[in-house]
Amino acid sequence: MPIPQTNDMPSLFPLEHPLVSCHLTTLRDKTTSSSDFRATVHRLSMLLAFAATRDLLMTDRSIETPIQPMVGKMLLNRIGVVPILRAGIAMVDAMLDMIPTAEIWHLGLYRDEETAKPVRYYDKLPPGEPVEIAFVLDPMLATGGSAILACEVLQEWGVKRIKMLSIISAPEGIERLQRQLPEIEIHTCAIDECLNDRKFIVPGLGDAGDRIFNTTGR
């Protein structure tokens, strides 16, 4: 379950659970295969989704069980799942397992290796009414640049409530996102020590995209 919020970090929700700790160990291990890495990202994403959706609004729905009529519940709001390409794709299926009715919108961002700043190269947001709640997905919240750009694009679209879901986060990325967009909720499985001089999370897990898609050349 999420650690209770503190007054100085009201939008930060780290996820503490024995299963999270065990799956994180598998994810960090450099000997974990690409297929096992993807499966572990899926499991951790489901746990994050469970925690991050606990406050969603519901409405009544009348149904009939095999025994008698009853009033059940269903989600009230339109929900969007927004993976930041490419690594965020690995978290999508877990979100759809939990919320089959969610809409999927893609944002293509990459980090310039020289400046470490995000570059936007693709988005597929529709011109019509925005979703009411958006879950931005990226396994790593490092510098915070991509997360901020993604959230700003969604706000320009008109999304009123945004939640950032990252498996591993750096303090620098959290601080930057909270400073620039304090209204964004951050849900994460782990807050690591820091960023190194290459802007990689320490101890981290390496490059999530390379490990997900097995593009390390090994």
- To the query of whether residue 197 is one of the catalytic residues in this protein, the response is no
**Residue 207 a catalytic site member:** yes
Helix (H, G, I), strand (E, B) or coil at 52: helix
> Does residue 111 have an active-site annotation?
yes
Question: 111, 120, 123, 161: which one is catalytic?
Answer: 111
CA dihedral 184, 56, 89, 19 (to 10 degrees): 100
For tokens 């499985």, the residue is 189
Of 90, 134, 93, 86, which is closest to residue 110 (Cα–Cα)?
A: 86
DSSP 88: G
Catalytic residue among 36, 93, 123, 210: 210
Per the residue annotation, which of 54, 61, 97, 115 is the catalytic one? Answer: 115
In 3D, which of 133, 138, 134 has the Cα closest to residue 109? 138
3-class DSSP state of 160: coil
Residues serving a catalytic function are: 111, 115, 207, 210
